[in-house]
Chain A
Amino acid sequence: MNVENIAYACLTRFVENGEGSREALHWVDTDLSEQIYSFEYFDRESSRVAAILKQLGIVPGDTVSIFIPRSPILISAFFGVQKAMGISCILFGTLGEEGLLDRLSNSNAKIVITRKSLLRKITAIKDKLPALQQILTIDHDDHQSDSVLSLRKLMTETDPIFDYPRWVDAETPAFLQYTSGSTGKPKGALHVHGALGDMRQSFRDIMQLEADDLYWCTADPAWITGIVYGILAPFGTGARQVQYSGTYNADNWLKTLETLKVNIWYTAPTALRMLMQEDENKFTQHDFSSLKRMYSVGEPLNPEIYHWGRKVFKVEIYDTWWQSETGSMMIGNHPPMTVKPGSMGKPRAGVEAFICNDDMQLQPDGKQGLLCLRKGWGSMFRTYFHNEAAYSDKFKNSIYITGDLAYRDEEGYFWYVSRADDVINTAGHLVGPFEVESALLEIEEIVDVAVIGADDPLLHKRIIAFVKLRNDQTWSKELELKCRIYVSNKVSTTAIPAEFHVIDSVPKNQSGKILRRVLKAIYEGKDPGDTSTME
């Protein structure tokens, strides 16, 4: 089956329909200066990027990694890759050396688009990336070498015309989204051009924007929410949207909501919890009367935050649930549903969600179990890139096992309980304990380590590291700092443990598997239960 190329559906289509000058993006910089970009602008700039990529040898199916912070050029680059029929992979600028190497290596990235300040991270690992052919920087005026070229210069020399296939096979790979698992390296969930239909439909069904509504998704485009509901769905439906260039900033966020008269706001519980810590006067200084609804994603929206948000912003807050693998919202709350505070909501039209036990038997309402989805929705990931075994592990026949524990109530609402595995959801980022443990084990003072997640009032879960030191070492503030900095620069800032505890030995079973439940119980002051299999 053929579908519109993502770039055609989101950009060129508007230009061909005479709507190219329509506002596609209202950009707000950290100094609150504003810039408006049209569909035509992105269509033009992405054509330049596509032409450059083709000139540099990118052919359909090649991966181009985009390693720059959120910006209009990131959007142009993303669509440029789509026009060149490549596979885009947007990465967080906060990734450490190992985290970056894992992703660039697994994705076989041939070109990385980056900026001066991040270039050193790539050059440090370039020798370990045989597939990498070119690095393009967005902020050098001139080419730096044969392999480090100025994208800015190339774009000024390139015509904004690029002929590309408007229609492509629905299964054509479009982008990779990396996510962490309980074990092993990060996995790249592969999404296809055919996924856009579900992304747009879910956006219409749940966000329900009216003509002229202004929409704001605060998620970074390196996060699945940022790419799907910050770029693809709003562009693909012709929505008016605002994006703020910086990270969380309470004053700038509140001013943006007020002055731009944002109507629909999609954000995350951690952001709301951070806002909740601000002085109450900050909120009374602003007029949020343009706001119609808020939506939340990334972690459970606990009732405390829900009630606070309703009180402060005076609108309903709708929680949504989905994953990097699902490609679009699967379960959610939306008008005219009655919100049950703390609930994930109900499956959207066309999505079959249910609860199973470990033997994949359907569980009755009220009984906790594995949250599962019936395979086959359009935006489902097609594989984990170069890791088919891990992909297969996520399915049992026609059932996708999400890795979350939940239950369904008698009215059909789903309620999140916890992760079913060891993955730690911290501030909406999934962190695999293995990644953190591997980094900490490289520190000479540490001989063994185990990492768990613990409840946190701000981050949902915080990372706790239990370390066994070499006999001649003692714990100190300096060693803690060394560990924190090492994890930050090796893996990612999101992987930094919030707490370190020194232990005499890491509890393991007889086959050497870390018994995290024992550590969790010890940490929470609970009975660790059966420890008969302990080493």
Chain B
Amino acid sequence: MSIEERLTKVFTTVFDNMSIEISPELTADDVDEWDSLSHINLMIAIELEFGIEFDQSEIQNFANVGELMASIEDKLAKKDR
């Protein structure tokens, strides 16, 4: 599965919504259940799915899914080195 597919799976699980379609432009304002509290769920789920860790400042600073995906790719690349 691609990163995007795995991330879609995480989103649908966390927000219990099979119809979520992720895109780089997607933000919390586009998903009804995505607020600062469920955002923590999302971050934990991503950490577990990809075996990576976010630090506190990263967690609060993703402006959209595009930035989130870029960070995941970056962490996975570093992990593989």
Contacts and interface: CB of A to CB of B under 8 A. Distances in A.
A245 B29 CA distance: 9
Interface in B1-47: 13-17, 19, 27-29, 31-33, 35-38, 40-41, 44-45
Contacts of B14: 485, 488
Interface residues of B, number: 22
Task: Tell me which of B13, B15, B29 has the highest count of chain A C-beta atoms within 10 A of its own C-beta.
Answer: B29
A248 B60 CA distance: 12
A439 to B, nearest CB: 13
Interface stretch (A211-219, A309-317, A374-382, A475-483): A475-483
B24 to A, nearest CB: 16
B76 interface: no
Nearest to A477: B48
Contacts, number: 58
A485 B13 contact: yes
A489 B33 contact: yes
A493 B28 contact: no
Contacts of A135: none
A94 B28 contact: no
A484 B19 CA distance: 21
A485 B18 CA distance: 15
Nearest to B33: A94
Contacts of B36: 247-248, 274
A217 B4 CA distance: 38
Interface in A65-120: 69, 93-94, 117-118, 120
Task: Tell me which of A69, A94, A488, A496 has the highest count of chain B C-beta atoms within 10 A of its own C-beta.
Answer: A488
A323 interface: no
B32 A69 contact: yes
Given A248-B36, A481-B44, A496-B37, A489 B29 contact: no
Contacts of B44: 477, 480-481, 484
A245 B30 CA distance: 11
B18 to A, nearest CB: 8
A489 B14 CA distance: 8
Interface in A451-501: 477-478, 480-481, 484-485, 488-489, 493-494, 496
B9 to A, nearest CB: 13
B48 to A, nearest CB: 6
B32 A488 contact: no
5 contacts: A30-B27, A93-B33, A117-B17, A246-B29, A489-B16
Given A94-B35, A481-B45, A488-B37, 17 more contacts: A69-B32, A94-B33, A117-B17, A117-B19, A247-B29, A247-B36, A277-B60, A480-B44, A481-B44, A481-B48, A484-B41, A485-B13, A485-B14, A485-B45, A488-B38, A489-B33, A493-B35
* Closest 3 pairs (CB-CB, A-B): A93-B32, A489-B16, A493-B37
Interface of A: 30, 69, 93-94, 117-118, 120, 245-248, 274, 277, 477-478, 480-481, 484-485, 488-489, 493-494, 496
